[in-house]
């Protein structure tokens, strides 16, 4: 099911990372990583544990401050910006360890996702001016749309903490979609899911791309990665080992040696 969409990087990539370096003490977690993500693709980042995938995500989102390199998103330099400014530019993410707002309902969680699309300030909110009510209705509608996409509409009023694990992961995706990002970072969305849920996740990721959102995916589940991604980046010890289409990567002897540990065929 490999999609042979425009797999060559277009002239102006959505995201261009150049020579990114991040070290913790003496450990180089990212040792000069460069890659480009063309708009409209599903771009996966794979690599063994400790290869630097999550570090890369945290650096892209502004949670770490890399010591060197540049992260160019649609012409804006992200390096040095705080996470909330990066989010405002159109980048959002989900988390490997759930970061749901357990003190709210599913709908409210997703409504927080709409934060950037609304204007209501402190005073207007406290006085509940007529414009606020209108905006609340609009937010509710947007949140429901995002829940619809993630097939969670019937769970809207439940407390987020009462859902089964697989659905919680979906709420995180719905919440991120509600922000209308142009780049969505999914950090191990399949971790802890069963086979049925993983299949549904694959369809969901494909729907997200169809909606025009570029997806950057970190994932260990190889059948999922190989079937859904347009291009892959393989990291090892904080460096880029290979980059290409799923077919290229699966045939790449370096990847097989370093990461897959032998000739393995995946049912895709």
Partner 1 sequence: MRRIGFFTFAVGVALLPALFPDNYFVMAVGVSAGLNAILAVGLNLLMGYAGQISLGHAAFFGMGAYTSAILTTRYACPSLIALTAGLIIAGVIAWLLARPILRLRGHYLAMATLGFGVIVHVLMVQATPWTGGPDGLNGIPPLNLLGWSVDSDLRWYAVIMAALLLAIGLSLNLVDSRIGRALRAVRGSEFAAQMLGIDTGRAKTQVFVVSALFAAFAGSLFAHQQSFVSPDSFNLTVSVELVTMVVLGGLASTYGSACGAIALTLLHEGLVVFEDYEMMIHGALLMAVMIFMPQGLFIGLSQGARRLWRLKNKASA
Q: Which residues bind partner 1 (CB under 8 A)?
A: 61, 63, 82-84, 87-88, 92-93, 95, 99-104, 108, 111-113, 115-116, 118, 120-122, 125-128, 132, 135-136, 139, 172, 175-176, 179
DSSP of 17-48, one letter per residue? EEEEEEEETTEEEEEEEEEEE-TT-EEEEE-S
| Residue 149 contacts residue 212 (beta carbons within 8 Å) | no
In the sheet with 183-187, reading across from the earlier edge strand, the strands are 91-93, 183-187, 214-218, 42-46, 231-236, 239-244
As a whole number of angstroms, the distance between CA 37 and CA 18 comes to 12
The size of the chain, in residues, is 268
Residue written as tokens 């989102």? 61
Closer to partner 1 by Cβ: residue 184 or 241: 184
Measured CA distances, 189 to 79, 82, 138 (Å): 25, 24, 28
As a whole number of angstroms, the distance between CA 254 and CA 75 comes to 33
CB of 131 to partner 1, least distance (A): 12
**Rounded to the nearest 5°, which phi and psi values hold at 216?**
-110, 125
Closer to partner 1 by Cβ: residue 133 or 254: 133
Closer to partner 1 by Cβ: residue 6 or 99: 99
Closer to partner 1 by Cβ: residue 175 or 231: 175
Closer to partner 1 by Cβ: residue 65 or 103: 103
CB of 26 to partner 1, least distance (A): 26
CB of 13 to partner 1, least distance (A): 22
CB of 159 to partner 1, least distance (A): 11
CB of 7 to partner 1, least distance (A): 29
CB of 143 to partner 1, least distance (A): 11
Of the candidates 74, 75, 61, 59, the one whose C-alpha atom is nearest the C-alpha of residue 19 is 59
CB of 86 to partner 1, least distance (A): 8
As a whole number of angstroms, the distance between CA 49 and CA 244 comes to 20
């Amino acid at each position: 099911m490999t999609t042979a969409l425009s797999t060559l990087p277009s002239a102006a990539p959505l995201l261009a990372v150049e020579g990114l370096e991040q070290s913790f003490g003496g450990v180089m977690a990212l040792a000069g990583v460069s890659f480009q993500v063309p708009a409209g693709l599903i771009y996966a980042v794979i690599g063994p544990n400790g290869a630097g995938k999550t570090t890369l995500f945290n650096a892209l989102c502004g949670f770490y401050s890399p010591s060197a390199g540049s992260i160019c998103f649609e012409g804006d330099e992200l390096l040095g910006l705080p996470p909330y400014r990066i989010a405002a530019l159109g980048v959002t993410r989900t988390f490997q360890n759930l970061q749901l707002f357990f003190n709210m309902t599913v709908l409210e969680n997703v409504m927080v996702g709409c934060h950037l699309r609304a204007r209501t300030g402190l005073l207007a909110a406290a006085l509940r001016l007529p414009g606020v009510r209108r905006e609340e209705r609009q937010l509710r509608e947007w949140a429901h749309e995002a829940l619809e996409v993630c097939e969670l509409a019937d769970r809207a009023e439940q407390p987020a903490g009462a859902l089964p694990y697989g659905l919680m992961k979906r709420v995180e995706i719905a919440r991120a979609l509600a922000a209308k990002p142009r780049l969505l970072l999914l950090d191990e969305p399949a971790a802890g899911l069963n086979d049925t849920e993983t299949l549904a996740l694959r369809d969901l990721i494909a729907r997200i791309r169809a909606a025009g959102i570029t997806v950057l995916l970190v994932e260990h589940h190889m059948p999922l990665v190989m079937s859904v991604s347009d291009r892959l980046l393989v990291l090892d010890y904080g460096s880029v080992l290979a980059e290409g289409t799923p077919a290229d990567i699966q045939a790449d002897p370096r990847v097989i040696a370093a990461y897959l540990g032998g000739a393995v065929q995946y049912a895709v």
